[in-house]
Structure 1
């Protein structure tokens, strides 16, 4: 926040009680508003916003107990908790079936890709007869006694905007909907399939969404022939090299010598475990670029690989800064960052990250650290 920017919060005023004071409904409403605004301010500034738990979008089975009216192209939102960018808690207490066509604005019903989200809302409940009329104006003799905090499901055919604020505390967010899923190839007359629903657009709960590594162009732990490894490293081909892809923009000026390191651990039939470092340099992004979503790093020396070698690739993610000058969250958890352009490989045990949202990426939520991966080399 610069010196010219203000803190986008209305002045907080609390009721000051004194003997003989006359209090009305407005005073008690303001008293509630004071404490609610304090709680929301504390929530979004100290903890952040996003999906806390649950709120997964799943295809609605044809034999569901409570199908929507059409019974086709419908999803079920599971129970869960979220906090919106204003600090309101969004509680979905039971699963909710959503007919996509019915929920879409009429102008979007020709779209093949839709987004589903949830938004905090309130509604008055429990009509109550008033005892005294309002002496200052026309009043209704029946008023709602309570305000129920609820939610509304939103569906759109227009790609939602991304919250690009680096600081989500000092300024309020304009976009109140928490988007939960992107659904592609929608045919409103047919049930959805699981592979049509992409959950990775969800914002995890926190003050900011860390930039992570989403793909590499080699298979972690795989065995390559010597020629395949040379092609991968760009040893003899200027268009080759190791590629690393990020979830968001990173500052190109932080991709400095030493950030990427290639170490070769010698194998073979004789004595092994001698190591040497393979020289290399960044081929992309091009000079002069301010930001990049991917880099390519290729070998620039003439050392050769031999049968049984292991090539260890390290990316010092703590030195790679994103658009907000925060370090990339780079830990290669489980060695499962996917290969660029390949279908995610199924794995026994932990098929998805602890968040339940795949595909895997780097990161533990702490930020920084070192991304490590390796592959093996065989003569043929």
Structure 2
């Protein structure tokens, strides 16, 4: 007899009974099962009410690394999630999945046993349980078959499935590159399903059913697809697992000469992180990631208002290829030290809006610069990283100007 898959039973009431043991107690199968049922029920209730549901770690969706498979295959990395019923989804190894995309120009058929989807759809993880290891049953209640067997164990796993995109299941509909934004604000007259606070907390709210969405797949006309990870529901990691600012190339609250800023720093302000950040497509605009709206540099002189430090048009604030370093390049005209536009004898203020800067897992950087110490962080996602330093002129700056006059 082969292993048999079974869909988990629907959510039932909270289990309130457990065994009381005493000497001489007769134990039947239902008594042993009661203890397992009680512990699983309370553990899953704890997961759901105290932690919520979503992706805990891993379960990233990437194009298949083999070029011949990349057209309609993706790889879901190993990871861990909790579904809306508190059950734990453990994908123990990287798993390839063929997407149900329309045939490409070469006429290659879509995934087997699954109709093609020309519109965006969700790739999801679903809890799966099967009975395994059939063994002879010494006693079979209700039957006299001497060869009767029963399955000896349950095996838990994860199934990868596809589902339609719904606002409650995939918030925000991506970054807005190819869709109009939805207006679901849970306000008067526009309350989406699930916004009311009625019912018991023991009844799970499952906007995606029993599924945990991993990615939104956007098919392209003529073949290919885009993987959208922006709407993933990610559970907050422990404070120690958040991403932090670990280094800056200026002395926080200190002084820096214009000569050093020009020649030793090459006009760059650099911020380093302890984990790679997520880089977004240019088509998505500047809503998230390292860009001119999240990496802001200002300056002011004595009795002067704050002004923005400009950057070259062809070199806006960016994330370097290593994914761990954000760079702001100061416009060379402001490093010349000449006239009002120069950065001599001013205070430079640096701000990094970490609420909008997610790491490679999609979790905002813990950026609060507490007590001026690094690494940053207060144990909460997001925050504002702030720092400042003084730029002073000096003999070396005058020497630089003399060299520039001689060269000109």
TM-score (norm 1): 0.52
Partner of 2:235: 205
Partner of 1:18: 22
Structure number with the bigger relative contact order (C-alpha 8 A, sep ≥ 6) is 1
**What is the total number of aligned residue pairs between the two structures?**
247
Distance 1:44 1:77, change over 3 A: same
**Bigger CA drift: 176-185 or 157-166?**
157-166
**Bigger CA drift: 53-62 or 359-368?**
359-368
Partner of 1:332: 353
Q: Which one of 185, 189, 210 corresponds to residue 219 of structure 2?
A: 185
Distance 1:222 1:14, change over 3 A: closer
Deviation at 1:148, TM superposition (A): 0.3
Partner of 1:184, secondary structure, is strand
1:323-375 deviation per Cα after TM superposition (whole angstroms, max 9, x unaligned): xxxxxxxx812xx84xxxxxxxxxxxxxx73343389899987368669899x
Contact 1:79 1:94 in 2 (8 A): yes
Contact 2:294 2:353 in 1 (8 A): no
Partner of 2:168, secondary structure, is coil
Partner of 2:293, secondary structure, is coil
Q: Please give the alpha-carbon distance, in whole angstroms, between the structure 2 residues aligned to 1:104 and 1:184.
A: 19
CA RMSD of aligned residues (A): 4.5
Contact 1:124 1:147 in 2 (8 A): yes
1:266-323 deviation per Cα after TM superposition (whole angstroms, max 9, x unaligned): 44xxxx354489xxxxxxxxxxxxxxxxxxxxxxxxxxxx968999899xxxxxxxxx
Q: Please give the alpha-carbon distance, in whole angstroms, between the structure 1 residues aligned to 2:232 and 2:217.
A: 13
Q: Please give the alpha-carbon distance, in whole angstroms, between the structure 1 residues aligned to 2:363 and 2:228.
A: 9
Structure 2 counterparts to residues 245-324 of structure 1, below 5 A: 266-267=300-301, 272=302, 274-275=304-305
Partner of 2:119: 112
Larger Rg: 2
Q: Please give the alpha-carbon distance, in whole angstroms, between the structure 1 residues aligned to 2:47 and 2:21.
A: 27
Partner of 2:50: 46
Partner of 1:152, secondary structure, is strand
Show structure 1 runs of 5+ residues with no match. 1-7, 208-212, 224-263, 278-305, 315-330, 338-351, 375-380
Partner of 1:31: 35
For the pair 1:129 / 2:136, whether they are aligned, the reply is yes
Q: Which one of 175, 188, 205 corresponds to residue 173 of structure 1?
A: 205
1:172-205 deviation per Cα after TM superposition (whole angstroms, max 9, x unaligned): 1332211010111246x8555xxx1111221111
Deviation at 1:39, TM superposition (A): 1.1
Q: Please give the alpha-carbon distance, in whole angstroms, between the structure 1 residues aligned to 2:66 and 2:384.
A: 46
Q: Please give the alpha-carbon distance, in whole angstroms, between the structure 2 residues aligned to 1:59 and 1:369.
A: 32
Distance 1:361 1:74, change over 3 A: farther
Partner of 2:62, secondary structure, is strand
Contact 1:312 1:372 in 2 (8 A): yes
Partner of 2:269: none
For the pair 1:81 / 2:155, whether they are aligned, the reply is no
TM-score (norm 2): 0.49
Show structure 2 runs of 5+ residues with no match. 1-11, 101-109, 172-193, 238-285, 308-339, 369-376, 389-408
